[in-house]
Structure 1
Amino acid sequence: MHGDRKGSRAHQPYPVVAGMEAADAKEELRRAIRAHRAERSPRLRDAAAHAFADVLATVPAVRDAQVVATYVSRPTEPGTHVILEQLAARGARVLLPVLGAGLARDWAEYADADDLLERAPGRPPEPSGPALGAEAITQADVVVAPALAVDDRGVRLGQGGGWYDRLLKIRRPGVPVVALVFPEEFYDSATHPLPAEGHDVPVHAVVTPEGWRELPTPAPGA
Structure 2
Amino acid sequence: MRGDRKGSSLHQPYPLLAGMEPSEAKEELRRAVRAHRAERSPRLREEAAVAFADVLDTLPAVRDAQTVATYVSRPTEPGTGELLRRLEARGARVLLPVLGAGLARDWAEYAGPDDLLERAPGRPPEPSGPTLGADAITQADVVVAPALAVDNRGVRLGQGGGWYDRLLKMRRPDVPVVVLVFPEEVYDAAARPLPQEDHDVTVHALVTPAGWQPLPAPAPAPAG
1:27 aligns with 2:56: no
Map of 1:26-175 to 2, 5 A cutoff?
A: 26-175=26-175
Q: Name the count of aligned residue pairs.
A: 218
Pairwise CA distance, 1:219: 1.6
For residues 172 and 9 of structure 2, what CA distance do their matches in structure 1 show? 34
Over aligned residue pairs, what C-alpha RMSD do you find?
1.4
1:133-155 Cα shifts (integer Å, max 9, x gaps): 00000000000000000000000
TM-score, scaled to structure 1: 0.95
| SS of aligned partner of 1:150 | strand
Pairwise CA distance, 1:18: 1.5
| SS of aligned partner of 2:48 | helix
Kept in 2, the 8 Å contact 1:50–1:82? The answer is: yes
Pairwise CA distance, 1:19: 1.6
Pairwise CA distance, 1:112: 0.4
Gaps of 5+ in 2: none
Kept in 2, the 8 Å contact 1:9–1:185? The answer is: no
TM-score, scaled to structure 2: 0.94
For residues 189 and 9 of structure 1, what CA distance do their matches in structure 2 show? 18
1:6-42 Cα shifts (integer Å, max 9, x gaps): 6945300000112211111000000000000000010
| Identity rate, percent | 79
Q: Which stretches of structure 1, 4 residues or longer, exceed 6 Å deviation after superposition?
A: none
